[in-house]
Amino acid sequence: MAATRAPEPTRVLRFWKPYGVLTQFTDPEGRPTLADYIPVKDVYSVGRLDFDSEGLLLLTNNGKLIARLTHPRYAHPKTYLVQVERVPSEADLDRLRAGIQLKDGLTRPAKVRLLETPPDLPERTPPIRYRANVPTAWLQITLTEGRKRQIRRMTAAIGYPTLRLVRVAIGNITLDGLRVGEYRALSPAQIAALWRSLRQTNR
Taking only the tens place, the pLDDT of each residue in 9-48 is: 999 999 999 999 999 999 999 999 999 999 999 999 998 8
Going by pLDDT thresholds of 50, 70 and 90, the confidence category of residue 203 is very low
Residues assigned a catalytic role:
50
Quick check: 177 pLDDT over 70? yes
Query: Could you report the per-residue pLDDT of 39-80, keeping only the tens digit for each?
Result: 999 999 998 899 999 999 999 999 999 998 988 777 889 999
Going by pLDDT thresholds of 50, 70 and 90, the confidence category of residue 196 is confident
**For all residues of the chain together, what is the average pLDDT?**
92
Domain ranges of the chain: 12-71+171-201, 77-170
CATH code, residues 77-170: 3.30.70.1560
Please give the Cα distance from 167 to 146 (Å, whole number). Answer: 12
CATH code, residues 12-71+171-201: 3.30.70.580
For residue 81, which of 11, 15, 141 has the smallest C-alpha distance? 141
- Alpha carbon separation from 131 to 158, 163, 191 (Å, rounded): 20, 11, 43
Give the predicted TM-score (pTM) of the model.
Answer: 0.92
Domains 12-71+171-201 and 77-170 share a fold: yes
Please give the Cα distance from 114 to 54 (Å, whole number). Answer: 20
